[in-house]
Amino acid sequence: MLTYEEFLHKDSFSFEEILAFAYGTLVTDPPSDFDARLPAPPFLMFDRILTIETDGKKGRIVAEQDVRLDAWYFQCHMPGDPVQPGCLGVDAIWQLLGYFCIWRGALGTGRALGCGDVSFNGQIRPYNKCVRFEVDVRRFSRLKESGASVVIGDGRIFVDDELIATVAQARTGIFKNIVYPDYPRRSKNSIGGIMER
Protein backbone atom coordinates (compact mmCIF):
# COMPACT_ATOMS: atom_id res chain seq x y z
CA MET A 1 0.00 0.00 0.00
CA LEU A 2 2.80 2.45 0.94
CA THR A 3 6.54 2.29 0.62
CA TYR A 4 8.45 2.82 3.85
CA GLU A 5 9.59 6.23 2.60
CA GLU A 6 5.98 7.22 1.81
CA PHE A 7 4.88 6.04 5.28
CA LEU A 8 7.53 8.21 6.98
CA HIS A 9 6.37 11.33 5.10
CA LYS A 10 2.59 10.89 5.30
CA ASP A 11 0.74 13.34 7.57
CA SER A 12 -2.66 11.61 7.89
CA PHE A 13 -3.94 8.02 7.76
CA SER A 14 -7.32 6.58 6.78
CA PHE A 15 -9.07 3.68 8.52
CA GLU A 16 -7.98 1.36 5.71
CA GLU A 17 -4.34 2.37 6.22
CA ILE A 18 -4.53 2.04 10.01
CA LEU A 19 -6.13 -1.39 9.69
CA ALA A 20 -3.44 -2.45 7.22
CA PHE A 21 -0.80 -1.31 9.73
CA ALA A 22 -2.48 -3.39 12.46
CA TYR A 23 -2.19 -6.48 10.23
CA GLY A 24 1.35 -5.70 9.08
CA THR A 25 0.46 -5.05 5.44
CA LEU A 26 0.61 -1.23 5.14
CA VAL A 27 4.32 -0.91 4.31
CA THR A 28 5.36 -2.84 1.21
CA ASP A 29 9.13 -2.71 1.85
CA PRO A 30 9.53 -2.71 5.65
CA PRO A 31 13.06 -2.51 7.04
CA SER A 32 14.42 -5.20 9.33
CA ASP A 33 12.85 -5.04 12.85
CA PHE A 34 9.72 -3.23 11.56
CA ASP A 35 7.63 -5.36 13.95
CA ALA A 36 5.21 -2.83 15.45
CA ARG A 37 1.47 -3.31 15.14
CA LEU A 38 -1.62 -1.56 16.38
CA PRO A 39 -4.32 -3.64 18.06
CA ALA A 40 -6.90 -4.92 15.58
CA PRO A 41 -10.60 -4.14 16.05
CA PRO A 42 -12.39 -4.22 18.37
CA PHE A 43 -9.45 -3.03 20.50
CA LEU A 44 -8.15 -0.53 17.94
CA MET A 45 -9.23 2.73 19.57
CA PHE A 46 -9.26 5.17 16.63
CA ASP A 47 -10.61 5.14 13.06
CA ARG A 48 -8.44 7.78 11.41
CA ILE A 49 -5.45 10.01 12.08
CA LEU A 50 -6.36 13.51 10.92
CA THR A 51 -2.88 14.88 11.40
CA ILE A 52 0.51 13.67 12.58
CA GLU A 53 3.42 16.11 12.61
CA THR A 54 6.84 16.58 14.10
CA ASP A 55 8.92 19.55 15.21
CA GLY A 56 12.30 18.18 16.23
CA LYS A 57 11.82 16.03 19.33
CA LYS A 58 8.22 17.24 19.72
CA GLY A 59 5.08 16.72 17.68
CA ARG A 60 1.31 16.42 17.56
CA ILE A 61 -1.27 13.78 16.66
CA VAL A 62 -5.01 14.24 16.22
CA ALA A 63 -7.19 11.17 15.67
CA GLU A 64 -10.89 10.30 15.78
CA GLN A 65 -13.05 7.33 16.64
CA ASP A 66 -16.68 7.03 15.55
CA VAL A 67 -18.94 5.98 18.41
CA ARG A 68 -20.86 2.83 17.50
CA LEU A 69 -24.12 1.87 19.19
CA ASP A 70 -23.11 -1.81 19.09
CA ALA A 71 -19.52 -1.33 20.36
CA TRP A 72 -18.42 -4.35 22.41
CA TYR A 73 -17.88 -2.35 25.61
CA PHE A 74 -21.45 -0.98 25.61
CA GLN A 75 -22.68 -4.59 25.71
CA CYS A 76 -20.86 -5.40 28.96
CA HIS A 77 -19.84 -2.13 30.68
CA MET A 78 -22.27 -1.71 32.38
CA PRO A 79 -25.55 -3.60 31.75
CA GLY A 80 -28.32 -1.08 32.21
CA ASP A 81 -25.81 1.82 32.24
CA PRO A 82 -23.65 1.56 29.08
CA VAL A 83 -20.51 3.72 29.10
CA GLN A 84 -17.14 3.38 27.39
CA PRO A 85 -14.50 2.45 29.99
CA GLY A 86 -12.20 5.40 30.63
CA CYS A 87 -9.14 3.14 30.47
CA LEU A 88 -9.81 2.62 26.75
CA GLY A 89 -9.27 6.33 26.17
CA VAL A 90 -5.94 6.10 27.99
CA ASP A 91 -5.03 3.12 25.79
CA ALA A 92 -5.89 5.17 22.69
CA ILE A 93 -3.31 7.75 23.78
CA TRP A 94 -0.69 4.97 24.22
CA GLN A 95 -1.61 3.50 20.81
CA LEU A 96 -1.19 6.88 19.13
CA LEU A 97 2.15 7.53 20.83
CA GLY A 98 3.43 4.13 19.69
CA TYR A 99 2.32 4.89 16.14
CA PHE A 100 4.12 8.24 16.35
CA CYS A 101 7.37 6.43 17.30
CA ILE A 102 7.15 4.09 14.31
CA TRP A 103 6.24 6.99 12.01
CA ARG A 104 9.39 8.75 13.25
CA GLY A 105 11.49 5.76 12.21
CA ALA A 106 11.70 3.72 15.42
CA LEU A 107 12.07 -0.02 14.84
CA GLY A 108 10.77 -2.81 17.06
CA THR A 109 7.57 -3.51 18.94
CA GLY A 110 5.53 -1.02 20.97
CA ARG A 111 4.62 -1.23 24.64
CA ALA A 112 2.81 1.16 26.97
CA LEU A 113 5.14 2.36 29.72
CA GLY A 114 2.82 4.35 31.98
CA CYS A 115 1.40 7.80 32.49
CA GLY A 116 1.09 10.54 35.06
CA ASP A 117 -2.23 11.99 36.16
CA VAL A 118 -5.42 10.91 34.44
CA SER A 119 -8.50 13.07 34.95
CA PHE A 120 -12.07 12.32 33.81
CA ASN A 121 -14.85 14.91 33.81
CA GLY A 122 -17.24 13.32 31.32
CA GLN A 123 -18.26 10.08 29.65
CA ILE A 124 -18.84 8.44 26.28
CA ARG A 125 -22.33 7.01 25.78
CA PRO A 126 -23.86 4.96 22.91
CA TYR A 127 -25.54 7.94 21.21
CA ASN A 128 -22.50 10.20 21.15
CA LYS A 129 -21.09 10.63 17.65
CA CYS A 130 -17.31 11.12 17.63
CA VAL A 131 -14.37 10.89 20.02
CA ARG A 132 -11.32 13.04 19.23
CA PHE A 133 -7.87 12.41 20.68
CA GLU A 134 -5.37 15.27 20.67
CA VAL A 135 -1.84 14.36 21.75
CA ASP A 136 0.97 16.85 22.20
CA VAL A 137 4.26 14.97 21.97
CA ARG A 138 6.60 16.49 24.53
CA ARG A 139 9.66 14.39 23.70
CA PHE A 140 10.71 11.63 21.33
CA SER A 141 14.06 9.96 22.03
CA ARG A 142 16.09 7.14 20.53
CA LEU A 143 18.25 5.31 23.04
CA LYS A 144 21.36 4.41 21.04
CA GLU A 145 22.77 1.79 23.41
CA SER A 146 19.63 -0.40 23.36
CA GLY A 147 18.06 0.57 20.03
CA ALA A 148 14.83 1.39 21.90
CA SER A 149 12.78 4.55 21.40
CA VAL A 150 10.58 6.34 23.92
CA VAL A 151 7.93 9.00 23.48
CA ILE A 152 6.20 11.13 26.14
CA GLY A 153 3.03 13.08 25.46
CA ASP A 154 0.02 14.78 27.00
CA GLY A 155 -3.40 13.75 25.70
CA ARG A 156 -6.83 15.32 25.68
CA ILE A 157 -9.99 13.34 24.93
CA PHE A 158 -13.09 15.04 23.53
CA VAL A 159 -16.51 13.61 22.77
CA ASP A 160 -18.64 15.63 20.35
CA ASP A 161 -16.22 18.56 20.90
CA GLU A 162 -16.49 18.52 24.72
CA LEU A 163 -13.30 17.88 26.71
CA ILE A 164 -13.96 14.85 28.93
CA ALA A 165 -10.50 13.57 29.94
CA THR A 166 -6.82 14.45 30.14
CA VAL A 167 -3.83 12.14 30.32
CA ALA A 168 -0.55 13.69 31.46
CA GLN A 169 2.90 12.35 30.64
CA ALA A 170 1.76 9.22 28.82
CA ARG A 171 4.77 7.11 27.85
CA THR A 172 5.18 4.49 25.13
CA GLY A 173 8.34 2.65 24.08
CA ILE A 174 9.47 0.70 21.03
CA PHE A 175 11.78 -2.25 21.74
CA LYS A 176 13.65 -4.68 19.50
CA ASN A 177 13.60 -8.46 19.84
CA ILE A 178 10.45 -8.79 21.98
CA VAL A 179 7.91 -9.61 19.24
CA TYR A 180 6.07 -12.97 19.51
CA PRO A 181 4.98 -13.68 15.90
CA ASP A 182 4.68 -17.48 16.24
CA TYR A 183 1.77 -17.42 18.72
CA PRO A 184 0.45 -19.82 20.02
CA ARG A 185 3.63 -21.90 19.77
CA ARG A 186 6.03 -21.81 22.70
CA SER A 187 9.16 -19.91 21.73
CA LYS A 188 11.69 -17.40 23.05
CA ASN A 189 9.16 -14.61 23.66
CA SER A 190 6.11 -16.71 24.64
CA ILE A 191 6.52 -15.97 28.36
CA GLY A 192 5.90 -12.48 29.72
CA GLY A 193 7.40 -10.75 32.72
CA ILE A 194 10.31 -8.35 32.66
CA MET A 195 11.55 -7.29 29.22
CA GLU A 196 15.06 -8.75 29.56
CA ARG A 197 16.05 -11.95 31.32
CATH value at residue 24: 3.10.129.10
Q: Which of 37, 57, 60, 77 is catalytic?
A: 77
Q: Tell me whether residue 160 is in a domain.
A: yes
Q: Tell me whether residue 195 is in a domain.
A: no
- Which stretch of DSSP H or E encloses residue 109? strand 109-114
pLDDT at 145: 85
Residue 157 clears pLDDT 90, i.e. is over it: yes
Segment 104-111 shows an average pLDDT of 97
Q: Are 63 and 46 in contact (CB under 8 A)?
A: yes
Q: What is the pLDDT of residues 168-186, one digit of tens each?
A: 999 999 999 999 999 999 9
- Average predicted confidence (pLDDT) for the chain: 96
Q: Tell me whether residue 123 is in a domain.
A: yes
Q: Tell me whether residue 197 is in a domain.
A: no
Give residue 68's domain range. Answer: 4-175
Q: What is the pLDDT of residues 15-74, one digit of tens each?
A: 999 999 999 999 999 999 999 999 999 999 999 999 999 999 999 999 999 999 999 999
Q: Tell me whether residue 18 is in a domain.
A: yes
Segment 132-147 shows an average pLDDT of 95
Residue 197 clears pLDDT 60, i.e. is over it: no
Confidence of residue 194 (pLDDT cuts 50, 70, 90): confident
Residue 196 clears pLDDT 70, i.e. is over it: no
Q: How many domains does the chain have?
A: 1
Instruction: Identify whether 9 is a catalytic site residue.
Output: no
Q: Compute and round to an integer the Cα radius of gyration of the chain.
A: 17
CA distances from 54 to 59, 102, 120, 126, 131 (A): 4, 12, 28, 34, 23
